[in-house]
């Protein structure tokens, strides 16, 4: 069957057929986003207003949650909701989502390490502050800059790599 034949009513999915065209498009986009990034947050940060706003994709997923659960269960994907964290996410053997570049993963891991260290320190502050040089120092201390890539697949030739190489010998 061609894609043109599916532009009309899909009689095998009565719930979906009962939706308006706009709702169908919103649901389709929300499911695609959920499969792409494996989770949807209830609130997202809006750069223009500099505050958190309600995420429309979350609203759509929450509204049609039982349908999405049944729809994705056919392919072995579980749809879970954590209302305390404001999160809808998927689990299953074949759910991968997009992969982060290696350098981004290293930065996230080092930021988590810095966060844990500062939270473990005796302080009444709930905020954590760091600098790029502190992040680079941590990467250098753990000798992670040598294997890191700065831009895509281009090997990193920044000064932090040279510092960690000279400190290793």
pTM assigned to the model: 0.56
Could you tell me the pLDDT band of residue 10, with boundaries at 50, 70 and 90?
low
Among 71, 91, 111, the domain-final residue is 91
From residue 137, give the alpha-carbon distance in Å to each of 24, 112, 132, 167.
Answer: 49, 14, 8, 11
Cα within 13 Å of Cα(99), Cβ side: 5
Number of domains in the chain: 2
The arithmetic mean of pLDDT across residues 106-127, rounded, is 84
What are 140-166's pLDDT values in tens digits? 888 877 644 454 444 445 544 443 344
Residues 115 and 74 in one domain: no
Same domain, yes or no: 60 and 123: no
Within this chain, do residues 29 and 54 fall inside the same structural domain, yes or no?
Answer: yes
Residue 154 lies in a domain: yes
What is the domain range of residue 142?
Answer: 102-168
Burial class (CB in 10 A: 0-12, 13-18, 19+), 110: buried
CA distance 110 to 114: 6
pLDDT greater than 70 at residue 11: no
Whether residues 22 and 75 share a domain: the answer is: yes
């Amino acid at each position: 069957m061609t894609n043109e034949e599916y532009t009309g009513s899909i009689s095998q999915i009565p719930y979906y057929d009962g939706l308006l065209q706009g709702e169908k498009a919103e649901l389709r986009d929300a499911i695609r986003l959920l499969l792409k990034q494996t989770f949807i947050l209830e609130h997202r940060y809006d750069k223009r207003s500099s505050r958190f706003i309600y995420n429309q994709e979350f609203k759509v997923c929450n509204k049609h949650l039982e349908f999405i659960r049944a729809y994705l269960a056919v392919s072995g994907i579980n749809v879970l909701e954590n209302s305390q964290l404001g999160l809808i996410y998927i689990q299953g053997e074949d759910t991968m989502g997009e992969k982060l570049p290696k350098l981004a993963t290293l930065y996230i891991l080092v930021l988590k390490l810095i966060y844990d260290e500062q939270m473990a320190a005796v302080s009444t502050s709930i905020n954590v502050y760091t600098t790029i040089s502190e992040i680079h120092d941590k990467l250098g201390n753990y000798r992670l800059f040598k294997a890191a890539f700065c831009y895509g697949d281009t090997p990193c030739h920044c000064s932090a790599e040279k510092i960690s190489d000279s400190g290793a010998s």
